[in-house]
């Protein structure tokens, strides 16, 4: 398996509480790198779109640190829901249900990266609106 395949479609955990927790914790660093990288891209793009004319201004370099730190902490708090849900599913339905960890991981990673990139998308739309209002 390639690294990206293993990252997005990992082998499920052993179906014990300890196995599930270990499985999720082994992936936390990769999750944080992916979400953090998306956040840095978002900050950079936001700075660019805010500075572009018309009516652009230079953003101060430190105004993003507190929201980024809060986002990082909350992303890790929400990450804990993955193993909690998987353990709950395992306890409720046991072997009647296929392992849910890989699907939960992909969904959480996708949502978190999308949420990290959302400010850049929003800022781009505001920049387009500034252009439209400047023209008309």
- Please report whether residue 46 resides in a domain: yes
Does the N-terminal peptide bond of residue 54 adopt cis geometry, omega within 30 degrees of 0? yes
**Helix 101-135 to helix 81-93 angle, to the nearest 10 degrees?**
140
- Please report whether residue 15 resides in a domain: no
- Please report whether residue 56 resides in a domain: yes
- Please report whether residue 101 resides in a domain: yes
Q: Which domain holds residue 102?
A: 29-135
Specify the number of domains making up the chain.
Answer: 1
Cα–Cα distances (Å) from 39 to 9, 42, 64, 88, 96, in that order, read 23, 5, 10, 30, 38
- Please report whether residue 69 resides in a domain: yes
Per residue of the chain (136 residues), give pLDDT as tens: 688 888 888 888 888 999 999 999 999 999 999 999 999 999 999 989 988 888 777 766 677 788 889 999 999 999 999 999 999 999 999 888 888 999 999 999 999 999 999 999 999 999 999 999 999 8
Record the tokens describing residue 42, joined without a space: 């978002």
- Please report whether residue 22 resides in a domain: no
- Please report whether residue 124 resides in a domain: yes
pTM (two decimals): 0.87
- Please report whether residue 7 resides in a domain: no
């Amino acid at each position: 398996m390639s690294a990206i395949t293993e990252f997005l479609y990992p082998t499920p955990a052993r179906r014990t509480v300890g196995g599930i927790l270990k499985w999720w914790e082994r992936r936390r660093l990769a999750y944080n790198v992916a979400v953090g990288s998306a956040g840095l891209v978002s900050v950079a793009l936001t700075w660019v779109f805010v500075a572009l004319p018309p009516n652009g201004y230079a953003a101060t370099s430190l105004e993003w640190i507190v929201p980024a730190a809060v986002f990082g902490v909350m992303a890790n708090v929400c990450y804990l829901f993955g193993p909690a849900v998987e353990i709950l599913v395992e306890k409720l339905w046991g072997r009647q249900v296929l392992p849910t960890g890989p699907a939960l991981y992909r969904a959480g990673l996708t949502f978190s990266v999308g949420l990290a990139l959302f400010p850049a998308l929003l800022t781009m739309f505001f920049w387009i609106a500034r252009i439209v209002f400047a023209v008309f």
